[in-house]
Chains A and B, each alone.
Chain A
Amino acid sequence: MKPLQADKVIDCIGLFCPMPIVKTAQQLNEMKEGEVLEVIADDKGIKSDMPAWTAKTGHKLLGIEEHDGEFHVFVKKKA
């Protein structure tokens, strides 16, 4: 399986809801269509928050990788 690549990474370790989502929204706004953002968080809520956020905003959730208590979420900016 090809590892997911990101154009930009934001570190949200230690941040709780709603900050990871808010930062994702703000960062994606500044990115170009089709670009991929990697969000690193350790608040478990992100496992359901991010799918909810992408469903609402139309951006694409490419995947959530979990290791060592960290969640690496890959989101692609919609066209």
Chain B
Amino acid sequence: MAEEKENATIVVFSGELDKALAAFNIATTAAAMDIEVTMFFTFWGLNVVTKEKTDAGNKNPLQKMMGMVNKGGARRLKLSNMNMLGGGKLAMKKLMADFHMPSLEEMMPLAKELGVRFLACTTSMALMGLEEADFIPEVEDFVGAATYVEIASRSQINLFI
């Protein structure tokens, strides 16, 4: 039996609540199965791992505008379907609470505890005017696509969500 651990990568491109939950469900399951999981947050996926209140300054006007319409934080994420101006999201959250399913905010520290690596994409960060200080502490590094591709080339499971 091989001693080397298996690897899995998940590109989180979507900034939607249901997609983020799916990503974390799979990530934590894989981590629980002794697989080394790396999550690469890019584009809208950055919103999953940003703090709600951003303190970092020095943003140009376009980035500032982007920041105003694209506010961060896992709590603000919408459903990809049937969000219904928030009604759908509320219904989903209630169902999850009734079924004792962990919220996204609870899944993230759990994933971290299980050894899942959180990486953020520097290019997307520039586009959205985000800096390292805007991210939650779980994000361990700020990298480019080559970092992602290298890990993916060694992984048995590679997902794009």
Chain A residues with a Cβ under 8 A of chain B: 14-19, 21-22, 24-26, 52-53, 56-58
Q: How far is the CB of A41 from chain B (nearest CB, A)?
A: 12
Residue of A nearest to B34 (CB): A57
CB-CB under 8 A for A24 and B32, given A19-B102, A58-B1: yes
CB-CB under 8 A for A22 and B100, given A56-B34, A57-B34: no
CA distance in complex: A18, B114 (Å): 13
Q: Which B residues touch A53, using CB under 8 A?
A: 32-33
Q: Which A residues touch B103, using CB under 8 A?
A: none
Q: Which A residues touch B101, using CB under 8 A?
A: 16, 19
Q: How many residues of B contact A (CB 8 A)?
A: 14
Ordered nearest first, which 8 A-B pairs have the shortest CB separation?
Answer: A25-B32, A18-B29, A56-B33, A22-B32, A21-B32, A14-B100, A18-B28, A57-B34
Q: Which B residues touch A57, using CB under 8 A?
A: 33-34
Q: Are B28 and A22 in contact (CB under 8 A)?
A: yes
Q: Which A residues touch B32, using CB under 8 A?
A: 18, 21-22, 24-26, 53
Q: Which A residues touch B102, using CB under 8 A?
A: 19
In the complex, B65 has a CB within 8 A of chain A:
no
Q: How far is the CB of B38 from chain A (nearest CB, A)?
A: 18
Interface centre among A21, A22, A56 (most CB of B within 10 A): A22
CB-CB under 8 A for A22 and B34, given A16-B99, A16-B101: no
Q: Which A residues touch B35, using CB under 8 A?
A: 56
Q: Which B residues touch A58, using CB under 8 A?
A: 1
CA distance in complex: A57, B35 (Å): 9
In the complex, B110 has a CB within 8 A of chain A:
yes
CA distance in complex: A52, B35 (Å): 13
Q: Which A residues touch B63, using CB under 8 A?
A: none
CA distance in complex: A29, B110 (Å): 15
Interface centre among A18, A19, A25, A57 (most CB of B within 10 A): A18
CB-CB under 8 A for A15 and B29, given A22-B114, A56-B34, A58-B1: no
Q: List 26 A-B contacts (CB under 8 A).
A: A15-B100, A16-B99, A16-B101, A17-B29, A18-B25, A18-B28, A18-B29, A18-B32, A19-B101, A21-B29, A21-B32, A21-B33, A22-B28, A22-B29, A22-B32, A22-B110, A22-B114, A24-B32, A25-B32, A25-B114, A53-B32, A56-B33, A56-B34, A56-B35, A57-B33, A58-B1
